[in-house]
């Protein structure tokens, strides 16, 4: 059974678990991950380079993919790259 981080906090309080190590063992989470989250060292920003498309361009590509899927047409990676290149 997998728990959300909110569940971790509630379970820790409910069960009276006073040590982070014990909580990490119970919930099968790395000790460092749980510790980092509890003290606020989690990453709140996205990993990787920033996106190249605007939200409007992204929505256009998304709609195109849905239309192609509705027509039972597959899209290759090359087709997708060409479609994005046409937008710029």
Q: What are the structural domain ranges in the chain?
A: 5-39, 55-87
Biggest distance spanned by C-alpha atoms of the chain: 59
Q: How far apart are CA 28 and CA 34, in angstroms?
A: 10
pTM of the model: 0.46
pLDDT tens by residue, the chain, 88 residues: 566 777 766 666 565 555 677 778 888 888 778 767 776 666 666 667 778 888 899 999 999 999 999 999 999 999 999 999 998 7
Distance CA 41, CA 49 (A): 21
């Amino acid at each position: 059974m997998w728990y959300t981080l909110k569940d971790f906090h509630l379970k820790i309080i409910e069960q009276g678990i006073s040590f982070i190590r014990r909580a990490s063992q119970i919930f099968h989470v790395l000790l460092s991950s749980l510790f980092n989250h509890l003290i606020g060292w989690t990453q709140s920003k996205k990993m990787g380079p920033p996106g190249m498309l605007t939200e409007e361009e992204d929505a256009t590509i998304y709609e195109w993919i849905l239309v192609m899927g509705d027509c039972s047409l597959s899209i290759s990676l090359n087709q997708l790259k060409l479609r994005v290149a046409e937008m710029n």
